[in-house]
Amino acid sequence: MAAVARSFRPILTQRVLPALTVRQITPTSFVGPSISACGWRDQAGRRSYTSTRVARAVVQDGPALTQTNRAEVTLRRFWKTVHIKQDESGQFQITLDHRALKTPGGAKLSIPAERRLLALLIANEWENQDEVLKQHTLPVTSLASRAIDGLSEGAIREGVIDQMMKYLDTDTILFTNDTPSSLVRMQREHWDPLYSWLKESYDVTLNLAERFAAPTQSEETKDRLRSALEGMDGWELAAFERAAYASKSFVIALALCKGKLSANAAAEASHVEVRSQIEQWGEVEDTHDVDYQDIRRALGSVACLLVKA
């Protein structure tokens, strides 16, 4: 080892670069609005310079800083008390430590006077949060925020209606099967009443799918069902949107929002194929049971939003 160390000694002692002494940058070191110069001297007294562009902070557009957004980012409970108060207009507001709860868009989460139950449910969701925030346990809060943030009027509302109309051509209840017998039985039990209800309420008869081809509906049918969506207020439209996403069905969502189906009945109608498979082959643990509860939570929050009490 000593021999090896001696063999490297000439290399280690060889001066490759002059030693540098860094000069501290001062405000006078900046030249121009976006260029800074810093320098140093080597042992020979020669000065070298390098130029770098000053990094400037850029403010990015993003959601407003609200209690809801703060909770989503930190995932921690930062409030101690939850209250409900009624303002001069009669609307209800939920407060966290006496500060009004706001939507992700920055608007006050104001609940109409005729939806007192909704205000109570939202307050209950925030009161029941433990030290760690669980976002999936705030379904009513998120749904109310969605209703307030843009679904009353404007381009967002029109975009949602356009998107929801696309569900009409791929509606779950339009794809029927002739086998197995358990599936046929469940389709008749849960879907046939919906066909009849559409005919009675909207004078609409839907075209069903044939083989693997997606069905197409007449322009008259689309116009009548679109008018049903356009007649909804922001709260109803938010409820319809979530119900359609959860059930994969325009008709089931409409029936739930119009009081034809309960949340449980809507969940049963949307899971006809799954329930038929379970009846034949059994339930897959941590899959079917999770889906069962998940869709009921989603559709249950829809039913809660629609209640006027």
Q: Indicate if the pLDDT at residue 22 is higher than 60.
A: no
Which CATH number is 116's domain given? 3.30.2180.10
Distance of alpha carbon 226 from alpha carbon 201, whole angstroms: 14
pLDDT attached to residue 70:
58
Sign of CA dihedral 298, 300, 301, 303: positive
User: What value does the mean pLDDT take over residues 168-175?
Assistant: 92
177 in the same domain as 134: no
Higher pLDDT, 46 or 158: 158
Higher pLDDT, 152 or 191: 191
Which CATH number is 281's domain given? 1.10.3580.10
Q: Hey, how many other C-beta atoms are within 10 angstroms of the C-beta on 15?
A: 7
**Do the domain assignments include residue 36?**
no
User: What value does the mean pLDDT take over residues 137-158?
Assistant: 92
269 in the same domain as 138: no
User: What value does the mean pLDDT take over residues 251-278?
Assistant: 94
Q: Indicate if the pLDDT at residue 73 is higher than 70.
A: no
pLDDT digits (tens, 9 = 90+) for 189-203: 999 999 999 999 999
Higher pLDDT, 40 or 45: 45
- Helices 288-306 and 116-127 cross at an angle (nearest 10°) of 140
Of the residues 150, 181, 199, which one is the last residue of a structural domain? 150
Distance of alpha carbon 293 from alpha carbon 146, whole angstroms: 22
pLDDT digits (tens, 9 = 90+) for 87-140: 999 999 999 999 999 999 999 999 999 999 999 999 999 999 988 888 888 999
Segment (H or E) for 95:
strand 92-96
pLDDT attached to residue 17:
42
219 in the same domain as 97: no
Q: Indicate if the pLDDT at residue 15 is higher than 50.
A: no
271 in the same domain as 258: yes
**Do the domain assignments include residue 184?**
yes
User: What value does the mean pLDDT take over residues 262-285?
Assistant: 88
The set of residues, in sequence order, having a beta carbon less than 8 Å from that of 302 and lying 6+ positions away, is 143, 239, 242, 243, 246, 256, 257, 263
pLDDT attached to residue 190:
96
Q: Which domain holds residue 156?
A: 152-306
pLDDT digits (tens, 9 = 90+) for 275-302: 888 888 887 776 777 888 899 999 999 9
**Do the domain assignments include residue 181?**
yes
Question: How would DSSP label each residue in 202-259?
Answer: H---PPPPBTTBPP---HHHHHHHHHHHHTS-HHHHHHHHHHHHHHT-HHHHHHHHTT
Of the residues 127, 150, 173, which one is the last residue of a structural domain? 150
Higher pLDDT, 39 or 103: 103
Which amino acid would we find at residue 1? M
222 in the same domain as 205: yes
Distance of alpha carbon 113 from alpha carbon 120, whole angstroms: 12
175 in the same domain as 132: no
The total number of structural domains that make up the chain: 2
**Do the domain assignments include residue 60?**
no
297 in the same domain as 167: yes
How high is the mean pLDDT of the chain?
A: 81
Say how far residue 56 (Cα) sits from the centre of its chain: 32
Q: Indicate if the pLDDT at residue 61 is higher than 60.
A: no
Main-chain phi, psi angles of 119, to 5 degrees: -60, -40
Of the residues 150, 170, 188, which one is the last residue of a structural domain? 150
Q: How far apart are the first and last CA of the chain?
A: 89
Provide the token pair at 18. 């002059």
208 in the same domain as 105: no
Q: Indicate if the pLDDT at residue 7 is higher than 50.
A: no
Percentage of residues of the chain with pLDDT beyond 70: 76
pLDDT band at 74 (very low <50, low <70, confident <90, very high): low
pLDDT band at 5 (very low <50, low <70, confident <90, very high): very low
Q: Indicate if the pLDDT at residue 24 is higher than 80.
A: no
Q: Indicate if the pLDDT at residue 268 is higher than 80.
A: yes
CA-CA-CA-CA torsion for 238, 242, 245, 249, nearest 10 degrees?
Answer: -80
279 in the same domain as 133: no
Provide the token pair at 177. 């099967």
CA-CA-CA-CA torsion for 156, 162, 163, 166, nearest 10 degrees?
Answer: 180
156 in the same domain as 302: yes
User: What value does the mean pLDDT take over residues 41-58?
Assistant: 50
**Do the domain assignments include residue 51?**
no
171 in the same domain as 114: no
Distance of alpha carbon 251 from alpha carbon 173, whole angstroms: 8
190 in the same domain as 140: no
pLDDT attached to residue 76:
80
Tell me the CA distances in angstroms from 122 to 4, 66, 82, 151, 247, one per residue in order. 76, 16, 10, 19, 23
Burial of 104 (0-12, 13-18, 19+ CB in 10 A): middle
